[in-house]
Structure 1
Amino acid sequence: MKKAFMFTVFLGLVIVLGATEMLTKTLSNGMQVVVKKNTSNEAVAIYCFVKTGSLHEGKLLGSGLSHYVEHVVSSGTTTKRTEKEFMEIASRTGAVANAGTTYGSTSYNFLTNRENFSTGLQVIAEQMQFCVFDSTEVAREQQVIAKEIVRGFTSPFSKINLKYWETAYSQSNYRYPIIGLSDLFLRLQRQDLIDYYNRRYVPNNMVLVVAGNIDVDAALEEVEKAFSGFDRRPLEPILMPAQPVVLGTSEYLEEFEVLMPRVFINQTIPAPDLKDVYALNVVGDILINNDTAPMQKLFYEEQQLVNYFVSFTGVDMEINSGVLRIWLEAKDTSRVNDIVDTFYREMSKYQKGYFTQKQIDAAVHKFEAEILLKSRGASEECIYIGDSMVHYGVPDRDKIRMTYLKSLKPADLNRVVQKYYNPLNKFTFYALPQGQTAMLKSDSKASVAADAMTKTDLGKGLVLLHKQSTQYPIVNVTLSIPFSLYYGTEFDNGFTTFMLELLMKGSKKYSKDQITDWFEERSTQVNIREGSDAITFDFKCLVSDLDQMQKILIDAIQNPLFSDKDIDLLKTVYASYIKRISSDPGTIHNDYRKLSVYNSKRDQMSTSGKMALIQNITRKDVVDAFNKYIRAESMMVAIVGDLDQLQAAEVSSKFYNAFKRQGIDGTISLPQLAIKGKTYRQEYNFEAANIDIMMQGLTTTDPDYNTMLVIEALLNFGGKRLHEATRGKRDLVYASWFYNAANRRNGFCGISSQTSLEKMDKLQIVLEAELDRLINEPVSQKELTEAIAAQIKV
C-alpha cells in the first residue's frame, strides 16, 4: 500500500508541551508506538491499530472479512487464555474493552485505570499475536454478524447509503460496505480468517497508542517487553485503485421509500491536486456550511428549497486522493435540477474578487480554535493519535492541516472555486421518492443554450471544434499543433519537455511575475503538453479574461525569454527529481525493461541518463528546440463555452496566425521492439516482482485496431480472463492487466503484472498460457458480446 503526501519515521522522540509528555518510537519489529501523558482524569487507554480494514481484503473484497476477524479476535480465545478468562479480567478490573473496523484500519482497545495498565496491555498483546479462532466462537460470531447485516441494510436510508457508495466508488475498494455483503460474507470459512490474521496482523502493520495519567518512559518499556517476541513479517501490498476522475458528467438515479429527494455530488481530487483540499475547506466554510453563508441563506432561508445543504472536502491517504462532496435534501423533486443549476451558477460569481485575507484568517482562526478547545480524554486522545499515525504517519495531523490553511491567499480560493464548483468532472447521485422520477426528468432547462459539437474547416490548415454553452461565463480552449515524440535523438532526449516547461516563464511584454500574478488572480493557468502526435496548449478562463489570456499566450509563443536564471532553476528541479526516484522500484523496473526490449539508444535511455542530458542543456539548446518545434503548418482548435461560432472562429484564427506557418524540419524515428521471444531478468532489493510481456501492437489507423480494443476488454473488463486466471483460480498476483498503447504511427501492447518472488515463475507460465489460449482457441459469443459492451462503456 502506498502512503503519499507525507511520511515521517520517529525514533525515540520526546515531545514536551506544558505538562503533557509524548514519546514516540518505532520498535525493532516495525511496530510504531506512541505513549502520551494525559492528566484529565485517572483513566489509561490502550489502543492497537492494525493498518488493515475492509479496503485490504484482496480477493475476498466485499466479504466483510476484516470486521469478522475483529469480532473473533476481540476477547476471543488465544493460546494464552480462554474467552471466559478475558471476560473475567474485564469484569475484575472494571475495564471497558472494545474493538472497531473502518475502511482503512481495525482497532482494539482497553480502557482501565493506572493500576491495571499492565493487565490491559497484556490482553491487547495476546489478542494481536495468539488468537486461535475457536470454531465455536467463529460460528457464533458469523450468526451475530449475519443478523447485523440484515438489520443494517433494511431501512431506506441504509439502502440509499449502500447504493451511493456502490455507484460513486464503482472502481474503488470503497464500493463495498465495511460489514460486507451478505452473500459474500456467508461464504467465508474459518481458514479465511486464520489466513487473513496471519497475513495482515504483523507488528510492522500496527500502531500501539497509550494515553493517560502514566509514566511515559515506564509505559514504553512495558510495551517493548509485551511485544518482544512478535517478529516482523513480510507484508504483501494490496491493490488500492483510486476512483478515476469523471470526465464530463456522470449521473445515477434510483427511487427509494423516502418522502423527500436527496442529492449527492462527488468529485475525485487526484493526488497531484491534494493541496486543493485545504482551500476547498475554507471555501466550504465561507460560502456553504455556515448559517450566514451565501448558499445557506439563498437555498434554506430565502428560497426555502432545501432542508439541508452541506459541503465536505477530505483527503484519503489509503488511495492517495481526495474528494469534494456536496449533499442536499430538497423539499420538492420538481425543483431538484433547478437547485443544482442555480448552485453552480451562483458559485461562478465567486471565481474572482470576492474573497479577502480577512475572511480566510477568520475561517482559519475558527478551525484552530476548534482544535485547541477540544478536551480529549484518554480514549479520544488514542483515537486521534492512532488515526493520525495510520493515515499520515505523524501523531498530530492537525499540525499539517493548520500549516497549509495558514498559507492560503484569496487567489487560492478563487482558483478552487473555478476549478471545482462547476458541473464538470462530477458524479451526481439522485435518491428520489417512489414514483417521482418523471418529475425530475421533466424539469425544464430550456433557458440554457448548449449546442452540439460542430467541426468547421476554416481553411489553410485550421480546423475548429466548437460547442457553445451559455450556462456559465467560462470558456475552455485547446490548441493542438503537429508534433511527434519520435523526432528526438539520443543527444537531445527530453529537451522539448524542458523547453515547454519554460515557455510561460516570461516573454518580451510580460515578465514571469506578471504572468504568475495574473494567473493567480484569475485562478487560471496554461497547461502545455507534448504527446505522440501533437503539442497542446490548454486553458480555461472567464470569458471576460479571454482577450488578455490570448495576448499573454501569443507573446509567449512569439517572444519567450528563456532566461539563464530560469533554466538553471529548472535544472535543480530535475536534479532533485532524479534523486527522489532513484530508489523507486517502478522506475528501476521500467529502465531495465527499456534497455532490454528496445533497439535504439534513445529509447533505451534510462531516466537518470535523460536527466544527465538535461543537466548539460544550454540556453542555445532551449532556443533551438523552440525554433524547431513551436511552428504550425496546421492546427486544430477546440473551444467549449460561452462563445458563439463567429467568436470562436475569430479566436482560433488569431492563435493560428501567431505561429510560424512551417512544418517541422526533422525525421521521425519510431521506436522498435527487439522482439526475440526472450526472457530478461533483473534482480533488485524489493519485495515485489514485476513481470512484463511486451509485443508489437497496432496503430490507431490499422483496420484491426478496434479488434485490439475488444481484446483489451476481454482480458481486463468484460470476460476478465486475466483476473480469473491469476486471482480467481490461483492466488498469484497483486495486480495484472493488459495494456494497449497506440497512436497513428506506432503501437505496443502487452501484459504487466506484479507478484511475489516465490510466485513469479508460475505466474509467467499462466500468463503465457492465457496468450496462447487467446491465439489458438475460439472466443465464445457470450464473451465477445460482454467484451464489446465493456469497451463501449469504457
Structure 2
Amino acid sequence: MRYIWMLLLGLSFLIFSTGVRAMEIAPGLYKTVLGNGLTVIVEENHRAPVVAVQVWVKAGSAYEKDSEAGITHLIEHMIFKGTEKRKPGEIASTIESFGGSINAFTSYDYTCYYVTGPREILETALDVLSDAIFHSIFDPQELEREKQVVLEEMRMRNDRPALALAEAVMQKAYLKYPYRRPIIGYPETVKAITRKDILDYMARRYRPVHMAVVVVGDVNAEQALAKIASYFGNEPKLPPQVVNFPQEPPKKEPALVTLDRDVKEGYFHLALPGPSILKPEAPVMDVIAVLLGQGESSRLYQQLRREKGIVHTIYAYTFTPKGPGLFEVAGTAPPENLREAIKESLVEIFRLKYDPVLPEELEKAKTMVAADFVYSRETMQGEARKLGAFEILTGDPLKAKKYLEAIKKVTAAQIKEVAEKYFTPQAVVAGLLAQNVSQLISPEDLQVLVEEAEMEASGISPGMEHWVSPTVKKKLANGLTVLITPQKDVPAFSMALVFPGGLRFETEKTNGLFRALASLWTKGTLEKSADMLATLVESMGGEIAGFSGRNTFGLKGSFLSENLEKALSLFAEVAEKPAFSESELEKLKPELLAALARQEDDPLQLAIREFYRLLFAPHPYGLNILGSRDVIENLHAEAIKKAYEDYVAPSRGVLSIVGDVDPEKIMPLLEKYFGTWQKEAKPLPEDKEPEPLLEPKLSTINIDREQVHLILGFRGPSMFSEDRYAMEVLNAVLAGQGGRLFKTLRDEEALAYSVTSFLTLGINTGGIGFYIATEPAKKKLALSGLWREIAKVNQEGVTDEEIKRAKRWLVGRYITGLQTNMSQAMDQAVNEVLGLGYNYGLRYIQKIQNVEWEDISEVAKKYLENKPYVLVTVGPLED
C-alpha cells in the first residue's frame, strides 16, 4: 500500500534537477509555489518559437483606499520608469532589442506586467520584470511627470463619449463596493499621491504571496521554473494582507445617469447586477451576453438594429470579477431614439425571465463563447492571460478548462434562473450621453420605461395589467411553437393554428388556392367524413374553421373547457389528417364562386379590389383576396393537397390557446396529440418585392348605380416599418365618424354619406386609401375635397386634440377587439408567425402612444406629398 502511495506522489509531482518541485496539473502545464509564497505556472507550448512572460499581482483598484484612488494605475505607469540598475527608458529598450514588447494593464482586482517575444527573451524578461517590480525607485521628478501623463489620460477618456459614460454608469452601479471608483482614479487623488504613498501601497500589495508568474511558450519547463525561482524566489516571505470588502446592498429603484455633451451621436449604457467569477452563474451569464448582444444574429442586434432600426450599434458583455459583477448593454443611436433604445433593450433582457431560449439559439451562443476560449490559445500571450486571470481570481488555473466545460453544459432552464435572479427592474442603471440629454429623459421617465419593459416582457402592457394573463411559450420536439394563455373567467377556450401563406404566395394562376384550402380543410379527415366531423364538433358545443388572409392561413376553433382533451384530439386530427376530397371540393366551389358574385354586385368591394390591383400589381397583394373565378372553377383536390404539403408543417406553425386552461396540465395533452405530427418543412418562396409606383394609375368601372365610389390612395409603410405607427395615427385622425374627413366632407359640406380612410400593412409594402361615396353630380367636388384634405395635412399638419383622439380610438379599438379568447389567440399566433412576436400587440399600444406631431408630419410628407397615386372610380359614367 505504501508503495502505491509513493508511486502516486511520484506521478503528481516532478522534482527537477534544479531542485524545483512542481506539479504537472495538466499535460505540459506545471504549477508550484516558491518558498516565499509566490505562485509559478509554466506551460510548454511549441506551436511557435515565442514565449509570453506575465507577472500577475493582486493589486487592483479595489484594494485602494478612497483617498488613494488611482494609485494602482499610477504605479503601473511608474514601474518602468527606472530601477536601481536601469535608467528610465532602458527597460523598454532592453526588451525591444530582442524583438519583444513590454507593457502592463491594471484592472479592479489585479495588475499584470508582461513581456512577449522570441523564446530567447525568457531570461531577460524575467530579469527585467523582477527588477522593475521589486526594485523600482519611483523617482519624485519622474512621479510628477507621470502624474501629468495620467491626468492627460483622464482628459482623453473624458473626451471619449462611450468610455466616459461607461465610467459614470459604473459609479452608479455600485453603492458601496470599491468597483464604483474608476481604475484611473480622480484628478484630486492622483495629484495628491506621493512617493511615500506608493511605497506604502507597494509594501501592502506587492508581496510574493500576492503574485503569480506565468510563462507560456516554446520553453523547457525545468529550465523555465529554475529561472523563475532564481529571479523571483529571493524576495522575503510576508503574510498575505487580508482585505475585508464591503457587502454590496441591493438597489431599491432604477438609477439614471445623464451626461450632457456637445456630440452628434447619442450614447446609451445599461447595467444590471451580475455574478462573480466564483459563482456557478458566471458561465451562464457569459452565454446570456452572447445570446443577447454579441454578433449580428444576437437578439439585441436583430431587434433594435435590423428590425426596428432604432440604434446604430449595440452589444452586450459581462463584468465577472472576483467581487459582485455586472451585466451590461451599450450602444449608439440617434438622440431622439435613446429612450426607445433603453426600453427595447430592457424588454429583450427581461424577456429571458419569461420565454425559454430556443435550442438552436442556445447552441449558437455556447459555441461562440467556447470559440473565444479556443481562439485565445492561438497566441502565447492569450493562453498566459487566461491562466493568469483564473489563478489570481480563483486560485486555480485549471478553472479555465472547467469554466469552458460549464459553458458547454448551460441549459435553457439555467438561463431563465439566472435571468430571474439578476435581471430585476429596481436594479437597472441606465446611462445616456447626448446634447441636451436632460431634456430627453428624467428619473421619473426611466421608472416608467423600466416598468413598461418588464410588463411587455412578461406579456403585460400598461393599462392591460388586470385582464391580460402571462403567456407561456413552449416548442414541441417537432418544432411546433405553442402559446398558452390562461383566462379562467369563462369555462371555454379557443385555439388558432397559423402558418405563413395566403395571398402573398399566390400568382395569377393560383389566385384563390389558399382560400380554397382553408375552406376545404375542415370538410372531413382521413378517418371521418365531413358530416361526421361536423356532428362531433357541434355536439361538443364547438366549432372549427379554416381561414386565409394576405400573409397567413390556418385553422381556428372554440370549445367548452369540459371537452378539452376531446377537442384537442379532434383539432389535431383535422390539422394533420385532412381528407381534401374531390367530392367535397365540388360541393364547396359554388360557395366560393358565390362570394365572387357578391363582390361584383357591391360597388365598394369592387372599388377596393380594383384599388389593390392598381396599387400593388404585379405583386401578389394586387390579386383578389377572394380568388380568381377561372382558378376556382378549374381547381382540383390534388392541387390543394400539394399546397398543404408545401406550406403546412409543424415546425413552421404556431398554435395559440387562450381560455380556461392550465398550462402545466395541457402540455402533456399537446405532446400527445400534436407532438407526434412529424413532417419536414419545405422551403417557402421568397416574398416578392413590390415594383415601385412611378406614375399615377387611374381606373374607371362603369356600373349602373345611384352613387359613385371613389378611392384615392398611395403606397404606404410595411408592417415592420417604424413609419407605420405615425401613419396609423394619421389614418385614425382622418377616419371614422369623429375623423376629419367625416366632419369636413360629410357634416360641413354634405358631399357624401360615407367617407373615410383606411390603411393596409403588408410584409414589405403597404397602402393608404381615401374613400368617398357620393352622387354622380358631386363627384368632382368630392374628389377635390379629398385632395384638399390631403394637402391640408401636409401643409398644416394635425392638431394635438386630433392626435389624442386618434390614439384613444386606435388603442380602444384594439383592446375592444381582444375581448374574446379567439381574438387573443389569433392576435398572438399571427404576430408570432410574422416575426413580430406573440406579445407584439402589447408593444403596439406603447408605440402608438409614443407617436408625436413631428412623426405624423414626417410620414405625411414621405408618403402623401407629390407621390404617384392611384384613383379608382366605380359607378355610372357622367352624362
Q: CA deviation at 1:191?
A: 0.9
Alignment of 1:30-49 (within 5 A): 30-49=37-56
Match of 1:432 among 417, 431, 434: 434
Q: Does 1:279 align with 2:284?
A: yes
Would the aligned equivalents of 1:99 and 1:107 in 2 still touch at CA under 8 Å?
yes
Taking the aligned partners of 2:22 and 2:215, their CA distance within structure 1 comes to 15
Q: CA deviation at 1:234?
A: 2.7
2:425 is paired with a residue of what secondary structure? coil
Alignment of 1:115-154 (within 5 A): 115-154=120-159
Match of 2:200 among 176, 181, 195: 195
AA matched with 1:66 = T
Indicate the residue corresponding to 2:65 in structure 1.
58
Deviation digits for residues 725-760 of structure 1, max 9, x if unmatched? Answer: xxxxxxxxxxxxxxxxxxxxxxxxxxxxxxxxxxxx
Would the aligned equivalents of 2:81 and 2:136 in 1 still touch at CA under 8 Å?
no
Would the aligned equivalents of 1:37 and 1:216 in 2 still touch at CA under 8 Å?
yes
Q: CA deviation at 1:358?
A: 4.7
Would the aligned equivalents of 1:448 and 1:469 in 2 still touch at CA under 8 Å?
no
Taking the aligned partners of 1:164 and 1:45, their CA distance within structure 2 comes to 34
Would the aligned equivalents of 1:312 and 1:326 in 2 still touch at CA under 8 Å?
yes
Distance 1:272 1:131, change over 3 A: closer
Taking the aligned partners of 1:155 and 1:217, their CA distance within structure 2 comes to 47
1:211 is paired with a residue of what secondary structure? strand
Would the aligned equivalents of 1:246 and 1:427 in 2 still touch at CA under 8 Å?
no
Match of 1:69 among 62, 75, 87: 75
Taking the aligned partners of 1:174 and 1:391, their CA distance within structure 2 comes to 15
Distance 1:43 1:355, change over 3 A: closer
Q: Does 1:398 align with 2:408?
A: no
Taking the aligned partners of 2:65 and 2:437, their CA distance within structure 1 comes to 39
Aligned-residue CA RMSD in angstroms? 3.9
Indicate the residue corresponding to 1:102 in structure 2.
107
Q: CA deviation at 1:388?
A: 1.9
Match of 1:12 among 12, 22, 46: 22
Match of 2:329 among 326, 331, 343: 326
Indicate the residue corresponding to 1:413 in structure 2.
415
Deviation digits for residues 680-704 of structure 1, max 9, x if unmatched? Answer: xxxxxxxxxxxxxxxxxxxxxxxxx
TM value normalised by structure 1: 0.51
Taking the aligned partners of 1:287 and 1:155, their CA distance within structure 2 comes to 25
Taking the aligned partners of 2:445 and 2:183, their CA distance within structure 1 comes to 37
Taking the aligned partners of 1:471 and 1:27, their CA distance within structure 2 comes to 68
Taking the aligned partners of 2:330 and 2:123, their CA distance within structure 1 comes to 46
Would the aligned equivalents of 1:350 and 1:414 in 2 still touch at CA under 8 Å?
yes
Would the aligned equivalents of 1:256 and 1:431 in 2 still touch at CA under 8 Å?
yes
Deviation digits for residues 115-173 of structure 1, max 9, x if unmatched? Answer: 34223212222222222323333333233333333333344444323322222234221
Unpaired segments of 5 or more residues in structure 2? 1-12, 15-20, 453-462, 472-657, 665-879
Deviation digits for residues 61-89 of structure 1, max 9, x if unmatched? Answer: 42x111222222225122x4444654563
AA matched with 2:22 = G
Distance 1:68 1:114, change over 3 A: same
AA matched with 1:286 = L
Q: Does 1:240 align with 2:245?
A: yes
Would the aligned equivalents of 1:46 and 1:120 in 2 still touch at CA under 8 Å?
yes
Taking the aligned partners of 1:313 and 1:215, their CA distance within structure 2 comes to 36
Taking the aligned partners of 1:27 and 1:361, their CA distance within structure 2 comes to 42
Q: Does 1:26 align with 2:33?
A: yes
Would the aligned equivalents of 1:243 and 1:268 in 2 still touch at CA under 8 Å?
no
Would the aligned equivalents of 1:256 and 1:433 in 2 still touch at CA under 8 Å?
yes
2:252 is paired with a residue of what secondary structure? coil
Distance 1:154 1:265, change over 3 A: closer
Taking the aligned partners of 1:154 and 1:449, their CA distance within structure 2 comes to 33
Taking the aligned partners of 1:384 and 1:426, their CA distance within structure 2 comes to 30
Unpaired segments of 5 or more residues in structure 1? 1-8, 451-466, 476-542, 550-794
Alignment of 1:720-739 (within 5 A): none
Taking the aligned partners of 1:193 and 1:445, their CA distance within structure 2 comes to 44
Taking the aligned partners of 2:348 and 2:137, their CA distance within structure 1 comes to 60
AA matched with 2:367 = H
Indicate the residue corresponding to 1:231 in structure 2.
236
Match of 1:181 among 177, 186, 194: 186
Indicate the residue corresponding to 1:365 in structure 2.
367
Alignment of 1:571-720 (within 5 A): none
1:171 is paired with a residue of what secondary structure? coil
Indicate the residue corresponding to 2:164 in structure 1.
159
Would the aligned equivalents of 2:175 and 2:249 in 1 still touch at CA under 8 Å?
no
Alignment of 1:500-539 (within 5 A): none
AA matched with 1:134 = D
Match of 1:210 among 207, 215, 231: 215
Q: CA deviation at 1:25?
A: 0.9
Distance 1:282 1:109, change over 3 A: closer
AA matched with 2:394 = Y
Taking the aligned partners of 2:446 and 2:141, their CA distance within structure 1 comes to 61
1:408 is paired with a residue of what secondary structure? coil
Taking the aligned partners of 2:222 and 2:176, their CA distance within structure 1 comes to 46
Aligned residues: 451
Distance 1:250 1:30, change over 3 A: same
Distance 1:544 1:349, change over 3 A: farther
Would the aligned equivalents of 2:286 and 2:369 in 1 still touch at CA under 8 Å?
no
Taking the aligned partners of 1:148 and 1:340, their CA distance within structure 2 comes to 29
